[in-house]
Amino acid sequence: MLQDHELKAAKERLLAGGVVAMPTETVYGLAASINSEEGLKKVFSLKERPFFDPLIVHIADLEQKGQVVREWPEAAEILAQEFWPGPLTMVLPKQPQVNSLITSGLDTVGLRMPNHPLARSLIRAVGSPLAAPSANKFGKTSPTKAEHVRKSFAADEVQVLDGGPSDLGLESTVVSIGKREGCALISILRPGVITEDMIRDLFRGKGQAVVVERIASHASPGHTEHHYMPSVPLVILETEAALGKQLLQRIYADFQLMPNTTGAELRLDANPKLAARNLYGRMRECAEGGAEFIFVVHRKEQSGGLWEAIWDRLNRAASRRY
C-alpha cells in the first residue's frame, strides 16, 4: 500500500520541477506539472523523446479542463460523460498559456482524465494538471508495472508511485474532434480500448449525427511506424503453421543470429482484454528470459474491437513479418 508520505513527497517533487512516475489504468506515465518548464524539459530528456512529439495532459476532474483547452464542443462533453475517467485522450484547441513544450508548438493539446485513484489524488494534491507521456524510453515498450519504470530510470531522477499493475495495459485511444458538414467528426489518431464502434454506438444511441474515422498514424506525431519495441527483435508470423526449420533459417539470416538461437513465443490470451493487459509485460519477459528474438503468431480470429489496438501495437513493435 502506498503511504501518505510518498504521495506528499511526489507532490513536493512535482511542485519543485521534478518528475514522478504515476500509475494509470492504461500504462504508467512520467509526469511533470504543466506549470513547470523545468519538469517538462526533464520529461523529454529522461525519455530521450524528440520535442516534436507532444505530451498528454491529465486532469482529475472536469473543472480543470478550462486550464488546458479553450473550446469544449458538445461532442467532447458526450465523450467525457461516457468514457471519463478512462482510456480516452481528446485533442482539442489549447489555451494560449499552455506551454508549447507540451504541445510541440501545435495549437491543440491532448487531454485525458485517467481512471486510477492514485493518479487523480496526485493531480489534486499538486493542484494543477500533469503532463505525462508513457514512462518508457522513446520508442520502447510502455510500462505496465512500477518495476518496469524502475528499470528504465534512476531512482534519484524519478520517484515511482506503485499503484499495482495497469488494468488495461494499452495506451489510451487518441481522438481529435472537429466538424464535417455540420456534423461532429471524431478522428481516431491512435486506436485503443475505446473502439470506433463504441464511439459510433454512443452517438447513435443519443440520436446525434457523427462521422467516426480512423486516420493515418502520422496525424499523431509520436505514433510512428516503429514504436513500442522490445530489446530483442520481434517478428510476426502471418501463418498458423509451426515455426519450421526453413523459416527459422530465414530469421537467423535476416537478423544475423547464430544457428540454433532460441526464440521465445509471445502468446496472446484468447480473451482480448487479457491479451491487452498482459501484452507489454509478456514482451518484456520474453526479451529478459534470454531469447534472441521473439515471435508472435497472427491468428485470423484476432480482428475487430480491441484486437485492432493490440495488433496496431504489435505491428509497430515488430521488426519483420513472415
Residues that bind ligand TXA (CB under 6 A): 24, 26-27, 29, 53-56, 87, 89, 91, 103, 106, 108-110, 112, 114, 132-134, 171-172, 174, 189-190, 220-223
Q: Which does 29 bind (CB under 5 to 8 A by kind): ligand TXA, Mg ion, none?
A: ligand TXA
Stretch of residues binding Mg ion (CB under 5 A), selected from 28-36, 73-81, 130-138, 294-302: 130-138
CB of 261 to ligand TXA, least distance (A): 31
Q: Which does 196 bind (CB under 5 to 8 A by kind): Mg ion, ligand TXA, none?
A: none
Tell me, what amino acid is at 80? A
Q: Which does 152 bind (CB under 5 to 8 A by kind): ligand TXA, Mg ion, none?
A: none
Nearer to Mg ion, 134 or 176 (CB): 134
Give the shortest CB-134-to-Mg ion separation in angstroms. Answer: 3
Q: Provide the grid cell at 202.
A: 454512443
Kindly tell me which of 112 and 148 has the beta carbon lying closer to ligand TXA: 112
Short-list 39, 38, 26, CA closest to 130: 39
> What minimum distance in Å lies between the beta carbon of 292 and ligand TXA?
27
Angle formed by the axes of helices 196-205 and 74-83, nearest 10°: 110
What does 47-83 look like in DSSP terms, one character per residue?
A: HT--TTSPPEEE-SSGGGGGGTBS---HHHHHHHHHH
Residue 134 lies near Mg ion (rule: CB under 5 A): yes
Task: Return d(Cα 65, Cα 60) in angstroms, integer.
Answer: 9
13 interacts with, out of Mg ion, ligand TXA, none, CB within 5 to 8 A per kind? none
CA distance 183 to 91: 17
Place of cell 458526450: 78
CA dist list (Å): 18 to 56, 125, 235, 238: 17, 15, 38, 45
CB of 91 to ligand TXA, least distance (A): 4
Q: What is the closest distance, in whole angstroms, from the C-beta atom of residue 112 to ligand TXA in the complex?
A: 6
Q: Residue 41: how many CB atoms within 10 A of its CB?
A: 16
Q: Which residue is it, cell 500509475?
A: 23
Residue 35 touches which of ligand TXA, Mg ion, none (Cβ within 5-8 Å per kind) = none
> Which of 56/237 has CB closer to ligand TXA?
56
For the sheet with 19-22, list strands across it.
Answer: 158-160, 19-22, 29-33, 130-131, 56-58, 108-112, 88-93, 173-180, 183-190, 210-214
Binding mask 74-113 for Mg ion (x = CB under 5 A): ----------------------------------------
Nearest residue by C-beta to Mg ion? 134
Tell me whether residue 7 or residue 106 sits nearer to ligand TXA (CB atom): 106
Interface positions with Mg ion (CB under 5 A): 134
